[in-house]
Structure 1
């Protein structure tokens, strides 16, 4: 089976290898979504998608459209045993002769559907052609990156990649900006949106998809914050974090911790607006609404709303309500409620969640603690590092993270030198607050620099004070030594005494001589 060349093929270009541009759309969360979205019949997969997403499609009639010849050949070889998969290579505008499709999967959006060998389509033109390929009542799974998402807000300025040859990107006036405008554009195209998902930690390969309903439920904000924090940490550990997505390589540097920014977005109800991307499950007017779409997908598990039990995941496990322990401890520190902080620390370090990072522990309404993430060998010190970076360390203890961690351990009635490997205070490896040491943030670097600058300024001030004090005391000592030398018996004082005594003796001798030579009257 050979790929079908439909025109506008790019002979030496690949969107799948991720070398000269970000990689294809993929991830475990979109795969779960495809399986639940009722995608069936004649299906078009438009743009670069990870082959595992195509594997998630049911057997039927699948057409895959890519613009690069190397990608088309690789996909043809990959699906050689599936006669129901047809690979087409070329530009989107060349697909007009194909019959309408029952479903279109375009999780990568429309930015990579145009070819330099064909028509240069604007975002609006490409989107209209994509919708035109959808049959009446057909389903559309559409992904879109957010130009002001968390991944862009923390990314460093990047050099244009080879994929940005002449594409206006966010400066394309036909491209809607912001979630509300995107939804309005979908409605204008005659699409009914069944579900909108906030995609984290990246628009291309999200691990977490959060629907509007679960984002609006503040009772589970702690669980969502913990999930987003884990997703960014895992992305950084794999080397495919936000910096890599923007700069075309795993630079490992960002302006600030994107996980912390995502947790703030959840706390303030902005997780949808600041999401790195969105995924829309829509249908052409006249189609039936999809009834099996999950409300959320977290860690590869779907989450739905039960009218009695609340949010429930696969296997019947309920989503724990409450806020993260980190949020509550930081709030107590800001308010200087040390009694509340001591109670939380003792409950944390005295229970089964002692070895879990504070941002992965959910504190329920009843005060119970639920571990939402994996164990961390130095969880207490990781929280101490967080306090230092937030500028709150001096409210707990002077010094650096080690001193703060020791203070936290004492507040929790715990021996800093004790404990087993599960929850020991200090670890042999360098610990960076739950994030890999190669995923550093410039704001953290600046905070560390400022802390070192303050320490250096204090040390210089002390050195100057010591020098000034030493100089003053040395001068006073010299003055005292001179006075002592003047008053000492063996020194100038003795010479002075001898001089005074000699003068007195001379006066007595002179008087005696005068008496002898003076004539008597």
Structure 2
């Protein structure tokens, strides 16, 4: 027997937990970590909107009671069955029909507000929905609230037009039903609703797969964010997603361009990154970034100094490619999982990634991985033989913008080489026509000169 209570506006033939052509429910390690940090055993909690079943059952294990509000009737039945031994109720319907006067110590709305109503709700502005949620919060209550960024990294890197086609859940709605676009307008809207935000997390890569939440996206935290975004965007992209996030972090823009955010009210002691340990502790810079920075300014001395030190670390038991090795002065430490590669393989991985990123390099464009790997290996006294080299491969930049930049660089190099060839040909031709050249040629090659003159005389005689 289930405990699902219909409140009106419910969607009978719809599921946010098991969608066919829609976004799944909010989930991810960052969401679990935030709930672990914010919830207390005596809490009465309202879970508003679609959240993964594992998140809901995890909340139920940590608190005294939990109510759930979802718009999908099948989801409500499934959640009620899962919470059969938990104190609380499952409500099915739209937020504007949710007439309960109960208040809660904690309201969890990590999916945001847009999916708290269905097509039967003619008009409910985002601000009104937020006010309704706030009214259910007890004095000194805590709010865990999520919002998607309407102008995040996805807008800059995703060229697939099919991603912009409306899904089944994207029925015509009033424009005011969506959250304000941008971090600052969202923060202002929360303040206008008398919600004092204690902590804001940038969520990567999305609310429905929240791998990591960061209060500051810089340094090694920027690398963590870049990895999360790049793993989600593995197909054709307008710009290299990994480099875009890192460049944005360096410019101080990654927090504003994050795919989504978590806003936390009423909780003061929270970690700066969730899950804890997602960002490596201690100083240092990613070795890959240090090498690329040196290559961009053609600092060959720095590269020739660092590569032998890095190879010595690998030979001494280190096992990390430049993209997961942290350089701190002259020492290295692993960042993430070890790579099952030999020394040359680690160097080849760096060369391949640098070519995929389209980063500026001091050697001619269009070089192959084998040639450039051998050049780096020679800096550490390693001769790359045919047995050690990887199979021949053509590596292109990942992003369309980087590909165009590479084409432009190749065209410039080709034009410069052609101009030098024309200049050289003209110089040689002028030298050959000069009197000193002809005199020298006659002195150094007398037999050839005599033979030519004899041929001229014979031709005249025959005529």
TM-score range normalised by the length of the shorter chain: 0.7 to 0.9
Does structure 2 retain, via aligned residues, the 8 Å contact 1:15–1:23? yes
Does structure 2 retain, via aligned residues, the 8 Å contact 1:354–1:379? no
Aligned pair partner of 1:295 in 246, 268, 272: 272
Q: How many angstroms apart in 2 are the aligned matches of 1:463 and 1:19?
A: 61
1:359 and 2:365 aligned: no
User: Which stretch shows the higher mean deviation, 255-264 or 351-360?
Assistant: 351-360
The unaligned stretches of length 5 or more in structure 1 are: 216-220, 238-251, 284-288, 304-312, 434-439, 466-482, 497-521
Does structure 2 retain, via aligned residues, the 8 Å contact 1:47–1:110? yes
Aligned pair partner of 2:381 in 413, 426, 437: 413
1:116 and 2:119 aligned: yes
For 2:346, the equivalent position in structure 1 comes to 379
Aligned pair partner of 2:291 in 329, 343, 359: 329
Q: How many aligned residue pairs are there?
A: 424
For each residue in 1:16-58, what CA deviation from the matched residue of structure 2 results, as whole angstroms up to 9, or x when unmatched? 2243122111001110110110255221111111111112211
The unaligned stretches of length 5 or more in structure 2 are: 424-451
**Compared CA separation, residues 165 and 205, structure 1 to 2 (3 A):** same
1:187 and 2:182 aligned: no
Does structure 2 retain, via aligned residues, the 8 Å contact 1:63–1:88? yes
The structural deviation recorded for 1:184 is 2.2
For 1:45, the equivalent position in structure 2 comes to 47
The structural deviation recorded for 1:75 is 2.5
Q: How many angstroms apart in 1 are the aligned matches of 2:48 and 2:309?
A: 52
1:129 and 2:132 aligned: yes
For 2:372, the equivalent position in structure 1 comes to 404
Aligned pair partner of 2:109 in 106, 110, 123: 106
Q: How many angstroms apart in 1 are the aligned matches of 2:196 and 2:35?
A: 18
For 1:500, the equivalent position in structure 2 comes to none
The structural deviation recorded for 1:427 is 6.6
Q: How many angstroms apart in 2 are the aligned matches of 1:127 and 1:34?
A: 20
What TM-score, normalized by structure 1, do the two folds share?
A: 0.71
For each residue in 1:428-449, what CA deviation from the matched residue of structure 2 results, as whole angstroms up to 9, or x when unmatched? 999889xxxxxx5333454566
For 2:399, the equivalent position in structure 1 comes to 441
For 1:224, the equivalent position in structure 2 comes to 221
Does structure 1 retain, via aligned residues, the 8 Å contact 2:114–2:177? no
Aligned pair partner of 2:232 in 229, 232, 235: 235
Q: How many angstroms apart in 2 are the aligned matches of 1:174 and 1:487?
A: 93
**Compared CA separation, residues 335 and 458, structure 1 to 2 (3 A):** closer
Q: Specify the SS of the correspondent of 2:112.
A: coil
Does structure 2 retain, via aligned residues, the 8 Å contact 1:197–1:210? yes
**Compared CA separation, residues 160 and 386, structure 1 to 2 (3 A):** same
The structural deviation recorded for 1:280 is 1.1
1:90 and 2:96 aligned: no
**Compared CA separation, residues 133 and 367, structure 1 to 2 (3 A):** same
Does structure 2 retain, via aligned residues, the 8 Å contact 1:385–1:432? no
For 2:437, the equivalent position in structure 1 comes to none
The structural deviation recorded for 1:144 is 0.8
What TM-score, normalized by structure 2, do the two folds share?
A: 0.79
1:426 and 2:430 aligned: no
Q: How many angstroms apart in 1 are the aligned matches of 2:23 and 2:461?
A: 95
Q: How many angstroms apart in 1 are the aligned matches of 2:27 and 2:152?
A: 18
**Compared CA separation, residues 391 and 280, structure 1 to 2 (3 A):** closer
Q: How many angstroms apart in 1 are the aligned matches of 2:63 and 2:365?
A: 64
For 1:21, the equivalent position in structure 2 comes to 22
Q: How many angstroms apart in 2 are the aligned matches of 1:432 and 1:62?
A: 52
Q: How many angstroms apart in 2 are the aligned matches of 1:163 and 1:124?
A: 21
Q: Specify the SS of the correspondent of 1:301.
A: coil
Superposed CA RMSD in Å reads 3.6
**Compared CA separation, residues 431 and 66, structure 1 to 2 (3 A):** farther
The structural deviation recorded for 1:383 is 2.5
Does structure 2 retain, via aligned residues, the 8 Å contact 1:93–1:119? no
